[in-house]
Amino acid sequence: VEEMMIRSEKMSVAGQLAAGVAHEIRNPLTSLKGFLQLLQAGVNRKEEYYKIMIEEIDKIEAITSELLFIAKPLTDNRNIESVTSMFDDVVALLNSQAKLKNINLIKNESIDGVIYCNRSQIKQVLINLIKNAIEAMVEPGNITLEFQQCESHVEINIIDEGPGIPEEIIHKLGEPFFTTKQSGTGLGIMITKQILERHDGSLEIVNNDGQGSTFRIIFPNSKK
Ligand code: ADP
Ligand code: MG
Residue 34 has pLDDT above 60, yes or no: yes
CA–CA–CA angle 125, 131, 134 (5° rounding) = 145
Answer whether residue 218 shows pLDDT above 50: yes
Percent of the chain clearing pLDDT 70 (strictly above): 90
Which mutation among 132, 139, 161 tests ligand 1's pocket best, with the greatest number of atoms within 8 A of CB? Answer: 132
State residue 11's pLDDT score.
60
pLDDT 10s digits, 113-141: 899 999 989 999 999 999 999 999 999 99
> Is the CA virtual torsion 149, 155, 156, 157 positive or negative?
negative
CA–CA distance, 29 with 197 (Å, rounded to integer): 33
Tell me the pLDDT of the chain averaged across its residues: 89
Q: What is the spatial distance between Cα 138 and Cα 101, in angstroms, rounded to a whole number?
A: 8
Write phi, then psi, for 148 (nearest 5 degrees): -135, 125
pTM, to two decimals: 0.83
4 pLDDT above the threshold of 60: no
How high is the pLDDT of residue 23? 85
Report the C-alpha gap between 192 and 56 in whole angstroms. 25
Please give the distance, rounded to the nearest whole angstrom, from the Cα atom of residue 100 to the centre of ligand 2. 18
- Higher-confidence residue: 31 or 8? 31
Calculate ∠ Cα 114-116-119, nearest 5°: 90
Q: What is the pLDDT of residues 161-204, one digit of tens each?
A: 999 999 999 999 999 889 999 888 899 999 999 999 999 999 99
Which residues form ligand 1's pocket by a CB distance below 6 Å?
A: 128, 132-133, 136, 160, 162, 165, 173, 178-181, 184-189, 213
Whole-number Å distance, alpha carbon 108 to ligand 1 midpoint, is: 23
pLDDT tier for residue 56 given thresholds of 50, 70 and 90: very high
Q: What was the ipTM of the complex prediction?
A: 0.99
**pLDDT exceeds cutoff 70 at 13:** no
* pLDDT tens, position by position, 99-115: 999 999 999 877 788 99
Measured over the CA atoms of residue 69, residue 203, residue 208 and residue 178, the dihedral's sign is: positive
Q: Band of the pLDDT at 224, cuts 50, 70, 90?
A: very low
Dihedral sign from CA coordinates of 189, 197, 125, 150: positive
Whether residue 187 contacts residue 114, with contact meaning beta carbons closer than 8 Å, is answered with no
Paired sense of beta strands 141-149 and 103-107, if any: parallel
